[in-house]
Amino acid sequence: MDEISQRKGYRHFITMVANAETGNLLEVIDSHQQEEIIEALKQQPLEVREKVEEVSVDMWAGFPKVIAEVFPNAVVVIDRFHVMKLVNQRLNKLRQIVGIKAQGSRFLLLKNSSDLTELETQKLEQILAQSPCLRIAYEMKEELREIYQTSQTVKTGLIRMKKWLATAIVLYGKVARTIRSHLEGICNYFISRTTSGVMEGINNKAKLIMRQGYGFTNFESFRARLLCSFSD
């Protein structure tokens, strides 16, 4: 479940719901208000909604209530890529604060260490050598990624996340506090490693469809086009 702005520059958002396993788009709602989302999704039979086990979302405060009301047997899973996005944004901000402006420095800091080439690793080391603070922040980003990749149970993930947060609060501040406030949903990822990857792909295609349709002033036409584009 995720939201996008229907028209660039406007603060009116639509909510989209998809099946993470099949990639099918299930519903498009002309709102991002709790009660209106709940009302729209409750049009689906209860026996169908009761079968939903997990719902992957971002950290919008309204999603837990929506999920509790609509999908009574589902757990909230905070998408890991949204969490890492927050961490990466803070890491890049720290890069700017310490005054590192070398071309490609942002790319090297945010790229997964395991994906770096030998030359990129050397360049990254040169960047990190300029700031002990940035080095620590980078290592913490990589540690969080390692927690996501290697924790096999919710309990293990929770223990490691809490340990990470105890140190991260110094450099990651507000981001660390945000993660702590959503810790249960974040650690529910370790139940079956569900993400919103499918939803992000749908979002990108939806934005393309909107551009091709110049914003679709008629919501029902836009909704129909989307549902048709992501059905079997």
pLDDT bracket for residue 13 (50, 70, 90) = confident
User: Rounded to two decimals, what is the model's pTM?
Assistant: 0.88
Per the model's pLDDT, the better-predicted residue between 91 and 231 turns out to be: 91
Tokens coding 132: 């002990």
Mean pLDDT computed over 23-35: 91
Question: Which value, to the nearest 10 degrees, does the dihedral of the CA atoms of residues 15, 67, 166, 88 take?
Answer: -20
Question: Which positions ≥6 away from 89 have C-beta within 8 Å?
Answer: 175
Per-residue model confidence as pLDDT tens digits over 133-182: 999 999 999 999 999 999 999 999 999 999 999 999 999 999 999 999 99
Q: Where are the domains of the chain?
A: 2-78+195-229, 80-189
Structure confidence at residue 134 (pLDDT):
98
Tokens coding 127: 């960047």
Mean pLDDT lowest among 15-19, 38-42, 81-85, 199-203: 199-203
